[in-house]
Amino acid sequence: MSTEEKAKLSMVNQDSLSEIQQNDALQIENEDVYEKLTFVVDKGQEPMRIDKWVQMRIVGLTRSKLQNGIEGGFLTVNGKVIKSNYRTRPGDEVVYMSYVNPDYTELKPEEMALDIVYEDDAIMVINKPSNMVVHPGIGNYSGTLLNGVAFHLLQQNPDLNEEVLPRFGLVHRIDKNTTGLIVLAKTPEAASHLAKQFFNHTVERKYVALVWGNMEEDEATVNAHIARHKTFRKMFDAYPEGEVGKHAITHYKVIERYNYTTLVSCVLETGRTHQIRVHMKHIGHTLFNDQEYGGDRILKGTIYTKYKQFVDNCFDACPRCALHAATLGFIHPTTEEMMRFDSPLPLDMEAAITKWKNYKAAAHT
């Protein structure tokens, strides 16, 4: 591989959805970057090689991408990983994990400091800072986490090509301004293993958030579908009746109350885009300084000059949505051991929380 080729690792979107499915995937976008496509072989279907059968049913899926997916375990028949020469049988349930990341075709390696919490031959766990997009996309083709990961891996293996991390590495994501833990796969087998855990909701994901208002209950569960906002297409909304969108469940527990704000832990049972932000707003507790969902203004407390100045100072201390991916737990794809990682609160959230603690203490003296 030439130096120029190494500088442009191809990140190929499998383009595996039909036009209708692509539009639907945009509407139900989630934190997990694979969509499960399920098919059942008709009773009258004659035996056919599985790769040919699947390729006929997914528009834009090339034979080479499908072969790589089969080798990596992204295609199962009746719950079992199969080989390309498997011949279909009537009634077979075929499941293909399709890559549904936003469309981008190049990944330029960039040297940057990465807070790598753990790394071995199969996975990487990284503590992501705020103001960093996870992967390239429209308006963010450089400076993303994956740009830095590509550079890091090239230092380990100068012969790295596009079939390693750039294609299979990302199995979930967190928002640009959310800090905390994210796991990436270094092999297609590891990606398949991790993706299935995310599908089955067996991955432990706990977030810590500072929200507006004094939570009435010490702990509770929010169960409301999430879909694109009907008016503001860059936002999402909760649909408690479940008439649109995808089901989403968030379990929350109060950590500490500060009169007009509350520190909570949120455990995700599902992984929808903006899930915690949307669910907390839905129950009347918008995340602190969440600009997109209205948390960047005073939502609780009597607005007078001194209080407004205090809140503005808190906004300055944590100039982003106060959300941190604090815990990540999963089964290691190679060793089958349970792995669990914890990340301490970042300094900006700590600073804002300290101010609210002091405000509460002063109010009670």
Would you list the domain boundaries of the chain?
A: 3-10+104-188, 19-99, 204-363
* Tens of pLDDT, residues 126-172: 999 999 999 887 677 789 999 999 899 888 888 776 555 455 588 88
Q: Which two tokens stand for residue 13?
A: 């979107």
Closest C-alpha among 313, 310, 311, 282 to residue 299: 311
- Answer whether residue 23 shows pLDDT above 90: no
Cα distance between residue 90 and residue 43, in whole Å: 5
> Could you tell me the pLDDT band of residue 261, with boundaries at 50, 70 and 90?
very high
Q: Which CATH number fits domain 19-99: 1.10.3720.10, 3.10.290.10, 3.30.420.40, 3.40.47.10?
A: 3.10.290.10
In the chain, the percentage of residues whose pLDDT exceeds 70 is 86
Domains 3-10+104-188 and 204-363 share a fold: yes
Q: What angle do CA 89, 91, 96 make, to 5 degrees?
A: 85
> Could you tell me the pLDDT band of residue 14, with boundaries at 50, 70 and 90?
very low
Choice between 52 and 35, residue whose per-residue pLDDT is larger = 52
> Could you tell me the pLDDT band of residue 101, with boundaries at 50, 70 and 90?
low
Average per-residue pLDDT in the chain? Answer: 85
Q: What is the mean pLDDT of residues 229-249?
A: 87
- The answer to whether residues 172 and 198 touch, using CB atoms and an 8 Å cutoff, is yes
Give CATH for domain 204-363: 3.30.2350.10
Closest C-alpha among 161, 156, 131 to residue 145: 131
- Answer whether residue 32 shows pLDDT above 60: no
Give residue for tokens 């579908």: 225
* Tens of pLDDT, residues 274-324: 999 999 999 999 999 999 999 999 999 988 999 999 999 999 999 999 999
Q: Which residues are catalytic?
A: 175
Give CATH for domain 3-10+104-188: 3.30.2350.10
Distance of CA 357 to the CA centre of its chain: 31
Provide the pLDDT for residue 12: 27
What contacts 182, CB < 8 A, 6 or more positions away?
Answer: 125, 126, 128, 134, 145, 172, 173, 174, 325, 328
Provide the pLDDT for residue 29: 37
Q: What is the mean pLDDT of residues 59-64?
A: 77
Provide the pLDDT for residue 21: 32
C-alpha distances in Å from residue 180, one per residue of 21, 68, 164, 253, 323: 31, 31, 24, 19, 9
Provide the pLDDT for residue 100: 58
Most confident listed range (98-107, 154-163, 335-344) = 335-344
Provide the pLDDT for residue 167: 55
- Answer whether residue 25 shows pLDDT above 80: no
> Could you tell me the pLDDT band of residue 34, with boundaries at 50, 70 and 90?
low
What contacts 108, CB < 8 A, 6 or more positions away?
Answer: 7, 8, 9, 141, 142, 147, 150
